[in-house]
Structure 1
Amino acid sequence: MQLPKIIHWCQKQIHVCISKLPIEIERQALCNTHSAPVKYMCVDHEELCCAECLFTQHRKCNQVDGVEKTAEGLLQSDTVDRLGQKLQQYEDCLIQAKTEGEETIKYIDETSDKILEESTELRDKVLKHINNVVETHFTDLVKKVKEEKERLVNFVDTVSDRKLLVASYAQTLKETGKTPLPILVQDYLKIKQQFNDLTKLGLHRSVVELHSDASKELLRILECFQLEEVKMMTVSIPLGGLDFTSARMKMVCELPDSEGDVTGGCYLENGDIVLARHSSKECLYYSNEKLVRKNIIKGSPRDIICMQPSELLISVQLERNIGIFDLVDLKTIKDQFITKHIEGFIYSFAVSSEYVYAACSTFILKLDHEGNTVEKIIVDTSTYSVAVNKQQEIISSSCETHKLSVRSQCGKKMYSYSHEKLRYPYGLDVSFCGNIFVCEQTSNNIHVLTPTAELLKVFEIASPRCIRFKENSYICFVGSKGNKTKIWDFVPT
C-alpha cells in the first residue's frame, strides 16, 4: 500500500529534525592493550589498567589502586593543582619568550636602520670608486639581519604554538568537575606525559646584539680595501633559563637540624626534601622546609634518589649496596637493589629514564631499573659523584685528579674541566637546562659550567658538600660538611 504524499512529507521532516539533535557520546577511559574499561591505577608505573592487565602486567607491583580512589585522591590533594601551576609557569615563560622575541626583532630593525643611515651619510662623503666596498657591506648586513629575523620569526611561531597547546591543557584541568573520574585520571596522565615531553624539547630563546664599526671604517675608507663584516652576536639561552655570568645566589632558608656531614639527598615530586646525613647515619625528611621525620639507616646513608613515586633508593656504605625504602616511613623494602655483588663502596648515584648510575670511586656502575649491571665504566680514582643530563651524558668528578669529566652514555670522555680553585670536587648536579654545578669543598665555592664543561661563573659559598636541584627550577639545596643545609635560588642580578 502506498502512503499519501502528506505522510511522506511528515516522515522526511521528522527525519531532518532528529538528525539535527545533538547526540552526546559519553567518553570512556579504555585500556590501551585490551580496549576494556580501566578499573585500576598502577602507582608504581603511573599506568591505567583493566582487570586483565592487573593480573598479567602489574601483579608484582607494590601499589595498585582503584581508578575511583585515584581520582578522589587527585581531587582531594593538590596534585592536579600542582600540574596546573607547572603549566601556568611554563605558559608564562612562553609568553615572556614571545615578547622578548618580538622585542628583539624590533631591536634588530631599529639598529639595522640606524647602521644603514649612518653608513649612507658617510658613503656620500667618499669617492665613487669605493661604492663597491659599501655595497658589499650593505649586502652583508641585510643577509645577517634577514637570517636572524627568519630564525626569530620561526622561534616566535613555535612559542605561540606551544602556548596554545599549554593553554588547552590548562583548560582541560580546570574543567575537572565536569569530567568522569576515569577520564580525569586519563587526561591527567596524558597531559602530564605530554607536558614532560614538551619541556624536554629544549626550546631556547636568543639574546641578539647587532653591531657594526662601519662608521669608523668609512672615516678611514681611503685606507681600506673592504669594510669589516657585520657582527651579529647571538647567545642561546634555554627557555626559562638564566644567564649565569650575571646571576647571583639568593638564600631562601636554612633547614633546621641539618648540621653535620650531609652527603646527598633529593627533591621529591611534591617539593619535599630527603637528606642523607652520613655522620649520624640518618635520613631527614623535610616538608615545607620543616623537619617532619628522622630515621636511622643501618650502615650509614650516602645518597638518596626517588626512582618510583612510592620508593627511595638509598646508598648504604657499610652494606656496599643500594637499599629500596618506603617513601612514607623510610622503612626497608629490599636490602639489595644491585643483583650482583660489587667490590667497593657506593657514594652517590643518578637516575635516568633507562638506567641508574652509581659512583664507586674507581668506576661508575651502570644498572637497569631492576638492579642488573649493564656496564662498568672505569673513571679516575676518588670519583664520589655522578649525574646524568637529558642527552644521557654522564658527568662525574674526581677528588684525586681535581677534574670534572663529561662522558657519552658508553663511557667515552667528551669534555673535561679543571681550575685552580677546584681542589676537591666532591658533589655535583645538572640543572634542567643542562648547566653543570660542582661543589668545591675545600675552596668554599660552586663552579657553574656549560653542558660542554666551560666555566660560566664561580660562586663563593661555605663548605659545600653536595647540591641537588628541584625539578625544572633553579632552586636547590646545598649540603655542608659542618654547617646547616641551605636552600638557594639562582636569580638574575
Structure 2
Amino acid sequence: MADSGSKIGEGDEVPGRVEENLCQPCLSKDKETLADKFCSTCNEFQCNDCSNVHNVLAILKNHKLVSVKEDDVASISVKMKALDLCDQHQRSLDFFCEDEKKLCCSTCAIFNHRKCHSVVEIEKIAGKITSPSSILGEKLKEAKKAAESLARHIRSSKDQLDKYIKEIHVNIRRMRDEVMRMFDDLEDSVVKRAKTLQKETLENLKKKQTINENHLADVTSCLETIESIYKNGTPVQKYIAEQKMESNLNVLCRNIKDECQTLEPVNISFHFDETIKMPPLPITEYVPGQLQLKFDWQEDVNSVDKAMILKPVSIIDLKKTGDDIKEPLYTGIDFLPDGRLVAVDNKNKKCLVYNEKLERVESYQLSYSPLSVVVVSEEEVAITCGYGYKIEFLHVSKCNEITSSRTCNVNTKYYSICLKDDRQFVVGTFDEQRPVRIVSFTGDELDFSVNFPNKRCPADINASTYIKSSNKVVITDRDEHTVYIYDIKTDTRVVVKDDQIEGPYGAAVGPSDTILVCSGKNTILQISQTGQVLSSYKIDMENSFRVCVSHDKSFLVVTNYCVGNRKMQKFKIST
C-alpha cells in the first residue's frame, strides 16, 4: 500500500479498489497500521492507540474524532496537500502563536512556544478571520495569470528565435546578391568605359601610324636618291644634292622627333579604392555587421550604460623638434575616418598628422595660434584660431599632404569645436556670456535656445562637446570642478559633481554616447548622460588636457599640458 493513500486527498482514486487508510502517526515511525479514527482537527487518520492521546492530554479533548467507517469522513476530508502539517514534526497544525505570528502543532506549542503569552487554538479563531478569502484567491489568480503570460512569452521567444535565425540567413544572402549585382554593374560600366577608351586610343594610334609611314617613305626615298647620286653622279651633282637634301632632312628629322615626343606607352588598368579593398583576412574581421541577442520583457526597460576598459597601445613624448621654437602644446586632436590623427600645436602654430602608430607623417605651418581642430570629412578639417575671428578649413589628403582650402570669417572668438551635423559646428566660446554657439560651414552664427549661466570665462576654463543622438551639449568647468549636461530639447541640465572630478578639461563622446572627460587627477572619466560616473581610468601622464575618440569608438587618444613632460597616448577601448 502506497504512502500517498494514507493522506487525505493525496491518493489517486482507482475504480474497483477499496481505499485503505493508514495511521499517519505510525507512518512517521515507519510503521504501517490501519487507521480506525479520523481527527478533523488534526486532519489525520489514526489507529486506536494513537487516537487515545486525545483522552490523555486536556489540550486535545475538544478535537472531533469520527470512525473511518462513517460516511462523513469523506466530507470532512479536504485536499490540503500537507499545508496543514508542521514542517518540523509532520503533525497537524492546531495552534497559532499570536506573539510570533506562527502556526504550530501540539509539539511546537509545548516545547517552542511555552514562554509565549498567547497561543490559541486555530479552531477557535478561524471563524474570526476578517480578511475575505477572495483576496488571497485574487492574488493567486494574478500570479497564475503572470506565470501563464511568462510561459506564452517564452514560447513566443522560441518561435521568434527560429524566425530571426532564418531572417539572418535570408538577409545575408540578399546582401550578398545585392553586392554581386553591384559588382556586375561595376564590371559592365568599367568594361564599357575601357572599350570606349580603347577605341579612342586606337584611332589616335592609327593617325600616328599613318604619319609615321609617310615619314618613313620620305626617308627611304631620300636615302635611295642620295645613294644613287653618290655612286654615279658628278661632283657638281653631289654638291647640289647635299645642299638640297640637308635642308629637307632637317625638316624631316624635326617632324619625326616631334612625333616621338608625343608618343606615350599604352597602359590601362583598374584599381579598387582603399575604402573597399580588403586584406587577405576573413571577411568577418572587416564587415561592419554584428550578431546581437536581445531579450525584451518590458518595453520601458532603460538601457544600461556599460563601463569601458582602456588598454594602452602607444605613447610618445611631445618634445621640440628641429623647427620648433617652443615645447609643443596640443590644444586640439581628432581622428580622421581612416584612423590617422590630426593635431594642432598652439605654441608652434602647426597642424600635424600622425599615423595609427602615433608616428608623425606630416607638419603644416600656420600663420596663427590654433586652439582646436575637428575632422569635417574624409580629407578636410576645421581649425579655430586663437584670438582671431575665423575658422580655417584645411585639406588633408590620403597621402598626408596638407593645403589650405578656405577661411570662414566669424564675429566671435571660439575655442573648442565639434560637429553638430553635416552643415554646422558646435563651438565653445571664450570671453563671452554664451558658453557655446552654433556656426555653419559658411560662417552663419546662431545661439542655442537654452538658459546658460551668465558667466564669462577665459579660453582655458571651459571646453564643450555635443551628443548628436540625444541633442545634448556637454560643458566642463575647470574652476567649479563640474561637468554640465544640457538637454537642448527640454532646456534642462544635469550638474555632475563628484570627488573624482577635479579641474576637468577636454571632453569627447565615447562608447554608447557616454561622455569622456579629462580630469586633473591624471584620469579619464566616463560619465553617463544621466550624470553617473561609470568608470575612472588612471593614465600615465600629469594634467590630462585633450581627448578624442575614433569614428568607430574603438580607440582613444589623450594629451596633457604638463610643462617639461608633455605626452600623447593612445588606448584601445573595450566594454
Structure 2-normalised TM-score?
A: 0.49
- 1:397 equivalenced with 2:467 (yes/no): no
- Residue type at the aligned position of 2:530: T
Choose from 306, 309, 313 the match for 2:375: 306
Alignment map for 1:476-487 (pairs within 5 Å): 476-482=556-562, 483-487=566-570
Residue in 1 that maps onto 2:492 = 413
Residue in 2 that maps onto 1:262 = 330
Spell out, residue by residue over 1:107-146, the C-alpha distance to the aligned partner (whole angstroms, 9 max, x if none): xxxxxxxxxxxxxxxx955359877655544433443565
Residue in 2 that maps onto 1:5 = none
Q: Distance in 2 between matches of 1:350 and 1:152?
A: 43
Q: Distance in 2 between matches of 1:232 and 1:145?
A: 18
Alignment map for 1:30-429 (pairs within 5 Å): 125-127=82-84, 136-144=142-150, 146=152, 161=167, 164-165=170-171, 168-169=174-175, 172-173=178-179, 178-180=184-186, 206=294, 236=303, 243-244=306-307, 247-255=308-316, 257=318, 260-289=328-357, 290-328=359-397, 329-335=401-407, 337-338=408-409, 340-342=410-412, 344-361=413-430, 362-375=434-447, 379-380=452-453, 381=457, 382-409=461-488, 412-429=491-508
Distance 1:476 1:148, change over 3 A: farther
Is the CA contact 1:206–1:236 (under 8 Å) kept in the aligned structure 2?
no
Number of equivalences: 329
In the TM superposition, residue 292 of structure 1 has moved relative to its aligned partner by: 0.5
Aligned with 1:426: secondary structure?
coil
Distance 1:465 1:170, change over 3 A: farther
Q: Distance in 2 between matches of 1:451 and 1:263?
A: 25
Is the CA contact 1:317–1:347 (under 8 Å) kept in the aligned structure 2?
no
Aligned with 1:485: secondary structure?
strand
Distance 1:443 1:478, change over 3 A: same
Q: Distance in 1 between matches of 2:385 and 2:531?
A: 30
- Return 5+ residue gaps in structure 2 as ranges: 1-79, 86-132, 191-272, 277-287, 320-326
Is the CA contact 1:468–1:478 (under 8 Å) kept in the aligned structure 2?
yes
In the TM superposition, residue 205 of structure 1 has moved relative to its aligned partner by: 5.7
Residue in 2 that maps onto 1:48 = none
Using CA pairs below 8 Å that are at least 6 residues apart, which structure has the higher relative contact order?
1
Spell out, residue by residue over 1:384-419, the C-alpha distance to the aligned partner (whole angstroms, 9 max, x if none): 222233233222222233322222346823433221
Is the CA contact 1:395–1:404 (under 8 Å) kept in the aligned structure 2?
yes
Identity of aligned residues (%): 12
Aligned with 1:347: secondary structure?
strand
Spell out, residue by residue over 1:24-72, the C-alpha distance to the aligned partner (whole angstroms, 9 max, x if none): xxxxxxxxxxxxxxxxxxxxxxxxxxxxxxxxxxxxxxxxxxxxxxxxx
Residue in 2 that maps onto 1:460 = 538
- 1:469 equivalenced with 2:426 (yes/no): no
Is the CA contact 2:546–2:560 (under 8 Å) kept in the aligned structure 1?
yes
- Residue type at the aligned position of 2:545: R
Is the CA contact 2:420–2:468 (under 8 Å) kept in the aligned structure 1?
no
Q: Distance in 2 between matches of 1:473 and 1:236?
A: 18
Distance 1:164 1:312, change over 3 A: farther
Distance 1:206 1:392, change over 3 A: same
In the TM superposition, residue 485 of structure 1 has moved relative to its aligned partner by: 1.3
Aligned with 1:180: secondary structure?
helix
In the TM superposition, residue 293 of structure 1 has moved relative to its aligned partner by: 0.6
- Residue type at the aligned position of 2:336: L
- Residue type at the aligned position of 1:282: K
Q: Distance in 1 between matches of 2:368 and 2:516?
A: 28
Distance 1:154 1:367, change over 3 A: farther
Structure 1-normalised TM-score?
A: 0.56
In the TM superposition, residue 171 of structure 1 has moved relative to its aligned partner by: 5.4
- Residue type at the aligned position of 1:403: T
Residue in 2 that maps onto 1:214 = none
Choose from 422, 434, 446 the match for 2:524: 446
Residue in 2 that maps onto 1:435 = 514
Residue in 1 that maps onto 2:237 = none
Spell out, residue by residue over 1:186-234, the C-alpha distance to the aligned partner (whole angstroms, 9 max, x if none): xx9xx9xxxxxxx99x9986478x9xxxxxxxxxxxxxxxxxxxx9996
Is the CA contact 1:207–1:235 (under 8 Å) kept in the aligned structure 2?
no
Q: CA RMSD in A?
A: 4.3
Moved more, 251-260 or 461-470: 251-260
Distance 1:154 1:430, change over 3 A: farther
Aligned with 1:140: secondary structure?
helix
- Return 5+ residue gaps in structure 1 as ranges: 1-122, 192-198, 211-230
Q: Distance in 1 between matches of 2:452 and 2:144?
A: 53
Distance 1:235 1:372, change over 3 A: closer
